[in-house]
């Protein structure tokens, strides 16, 4: 009897090739979304950093107002069962669009001048972990109060606190929307007012904070100069506040800075951009080339009165 031919059939060989290619593809995808890929890019200069901000967007807040981390696959408006969305009653806010006083020409000029000290560099956002690298709100030394309570007391009027030094109510003239928000602490209401890092923690990480000590990152996360009480939904919509990949994410806002999130309240936009620039200069953080060009353009327009 003649012996059988060695080797598999052509179909089997093709199938094995397809399976092998598929497995290699999966391994490359896994590598690309881990810090190892960013290390390879930084070392060789080959390839591009992967923006995983769509997986970890702006940290939502727990019912008590403290921030929590989104799980992979969740969006800013999709949180787990332990998180409640801001409960805004019809009489809780008053719309006052574009009516707030601004910091003015000198403040905008200071922001523009600050850009001279800011280095341009590619964003290195890989490996960001908010809880592990920046921690939560730090105690402020009064009872059970934290940095959040410090900023609420600073930015609101008619503030009342409980026996634990925690802010339980107040009125916020929200800079991001122009609304007046009547804040009440509670499981369903605390998230109506959130504390925003004007230069978001992920932005700070990608522009230099990754090289800081843990102590300095915690100091940054709790620095009053970096923080601002704001409308909860507006803060959530902001996310990390910067388009790391330069794809003009906020082009529809028509602000002249399509890579930088800007508040809906047009009266506060010049103040916001100036504050962003001063924070980055003060903390030695970098800007992407597009981010810096857009920041300079917007602030120059503010100073010129346009």
For the chain, the distance separating the N- and C-terminal CA atoms, rounded to the nearest angstrom, is 94
Residue 44 near residue 207 (C-beta atoms within 8 A)? no
Exposure string of 189-218, with b = 16+ CB inside 10 Å and e = fewer, is: bbbbbbbbbbbbbbbbbbbbbbebeeeebb
Q: HEC states along 41-108?
A: HHHHCCCCCCCCCCCCCCCCECCCCCECCCCCCCCCCCCCCCCCCCCCCCCCEEECCCCCCCCCHHHH
Residues in the chain: 306
Q: What is the pLDDT of residue 74?
A: 34
Residue-wise pLDDT tens digits, 99-144: 456 789 999 999 999 999 999 999 999 999 999 999 999 999 999 9
- pLDDT tier at 23, thresholds 50, 70, 90: confident
Regarding predicted confidence, which is higher, 12 or 170? Answer: 170
- Of 58-72, 103-117, 193-207, give the lowest mean pLDDT range: 58-72
Q: Residue 96: what pLDDT?
A: 47
Q: Is the pLDDT of residue 28 over 60?
A: yes
Q: Mind listing the pLDDT tens digit for each residue in 273-296?
A: 999 999 999 999 999 999 999 999
Beta bridge mates, 146: 139
Q: Does 69 score more than 90 pLDDT? A: no
Contacts of 132 (CB under 8 A, 6+ apart): none
34 Cβ contact partners less than 8 Å away, ≥ 6 residues apart? 126, 127
The beta strands (E) that lie in the chain are given as 93-95, 156-161, 167-173, 179-184, 193-197, 227-231
For residue range 75-102, list pLDDT tens digits in order: 333 332 233 344 444 335 444 444 456 7
pTM of the model: 0.72
Q: In 160-184, which positions are buried (b, 16+ CB within 10 angstroms) versus exposed (e)? A: ebeeebbbbbbebbbbbbbbbbbbb
69-78, 145-154, 197-206: the lowest-pLDDT one: 69-78
For range 154-164, the mean pLDDT: 98
Per-residue confidence (pLDDT) for residue 210, from 0 to 100: 97
> By three-state DSSP, how is residue 305 classified?
coil
More confident residue, 102 or 259: 259
Confidence class of residue 15 from pLDDT cuts 50, 70 and 90? confident
pLDDT for 306 = 75
Rounded to the nearest integer, the mean pLDDT of the chain is 81
Task: Quickly tell me which residue has 């970098």 as its tokens.
Answer: 286
């Amino acid at each position: 009897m003649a012996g059988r031919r060695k080797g598999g059939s052509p179909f089997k060989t093709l199938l094995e090739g397809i399976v092998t290619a598929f497995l290699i593809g999966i391994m490359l995808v896994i590598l690309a979304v881990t810090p190892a890929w960013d290390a390879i890019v930084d070392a060789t200069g080959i390839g591009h950093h992967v923006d995983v901000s769509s997986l970890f967007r702006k940290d939502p807040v727990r019912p008590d107002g403290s921030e929590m981390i989104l799980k992979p696959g969740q969006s800013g408006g999709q949180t787990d069962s332990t998180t409640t969305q801001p409960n805004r009653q019809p009489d809780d806010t008053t719309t006052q669009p574009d009516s707030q006083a601004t910091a003015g020409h000198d403040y905008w000029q200071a922001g523009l001048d600050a850009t001279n000290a800011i280095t341009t560099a590619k964003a290195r956002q890989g490996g960001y972990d908010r809880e592990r690298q920046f921690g939560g709100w730090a105690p402020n030394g009064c009872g059970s109060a934290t940095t959040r309570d410090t900023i609420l007391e600073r930015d609101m009027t008619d503030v009342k606190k409980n026996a634990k030094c925690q802010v339980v109510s107040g009125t916020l003239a929200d800079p991001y929307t122009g609304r007046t928000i009547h804040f009440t602490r509670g499981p369903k209401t605390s998230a109506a007012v959130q504390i925003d890092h004007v230069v978001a923690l992920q932005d700070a990480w990608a522009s230099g904070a990754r090289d800081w000590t843990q102590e300095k990152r915690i100091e940054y996360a709790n620095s009053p100069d970096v923080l601002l009480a704001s409308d909860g939904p507006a803060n959530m919509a902001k996310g990390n506040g910067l388009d790391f990949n330069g794809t003009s994410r906020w082009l529809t806002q028509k602000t002249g800075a399509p890579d930088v999130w800007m508040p809906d309240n047009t009266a506060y936009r010049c103040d916001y951009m100036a504050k962003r620039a001063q924070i980055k200069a003060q903390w030695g953080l970098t800007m992407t080339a597009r981010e810096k060009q857009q920041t300079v353009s917007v602030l120059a327009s503010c100073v010129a009165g346009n």
